[in-house]
Amino acid sequence: MGSRLAHAVRLFFGRETPEQKLARTGVAIFRNFFDLQLVQRIERRFEANLRRLGDVFPDYLTNASQNVFSLALPFCEPSDPTLAARMAAVTQRGIIDERMSEAEKQRMRDEVGDRLVQYFSFLAPPRGVNLNRDCFARFELARSGSPYDIYALHQDAAPALTLDPCAWTAWIALSACGVDAPSLQYVDQRFSNLLVSHDDHLFIPPADVAQLDLHFTRPALNPGDLVLFTSYTLHGTWVTREMTKPRYSLDIRLSPL
């Protein structure tokens, strides 16, 4: 079925396309956006990089005090070189470590960046979008016995994060998440400003979020699924006591040219 005909059929039956939902709410899920073989190949390379951490990685898993262990490997040079240290110091989310070779990082950018830039060129006409410097491969693991419904909620446009407020985030699942492994949670509506003052904090305190009386979407995602959202979308990690498996994902940001 041609793309125009499929689009007409969806409109006729009242089914909103991801592109339409993105325009309406600023956030949408694009199912099976990346080929499963590609996703599995990236996940295997990511796991190999984690093993290079040697004794440091299991030490963080067993001894760190935070409810959710998080580690991110950048495959672009971060726009703010202090962000990694500030995240670790303020949130105790684990460590961000530079372990990938330049060849590996370039391969990651080529494999995922080209498709993202080409497909989502409609976000910023007429010139399109480009891969932002703030791109990470992320590993997260919940700690047993520590349910944490509201975790690390934030808007990427917060001044403390020093990210591009005009950027979009492409959040890509490398493994199944939302049932046995932590997932993403977000408010499924468009915002054009910061909901609360972040001040110097990276994340919004749960008490402040509760006062906003917002409804969160907490999707189950399969490898290759992509969630795209704006810099003002309120989002964070979704984890429960039952989520005992690790989550592998990519955080990629697209900025207008």
Between residues 247 and 52, which one has the greater pLDDT? 247
Over residues 22-27, mean pLDDT = 95
pLDDT digits (tens, 9 = 90+) for 49-63: 766 665 555 555 554
- Look at residue 95 and tell me whether its pLDDT is greater than 50: no
Give me 240's structure tokens. 């429960």
> What pTM did the predictor assign?
0.83
Is pLDDT at 29 greater than 50 in this prediction?
yes
pLDDT tens, position by position, 98-156: 566 778 778 888 888 889 999 999 999 989 998 887 777 777 766 544 444 445 788 88
pLDDT at position 143, please? 54
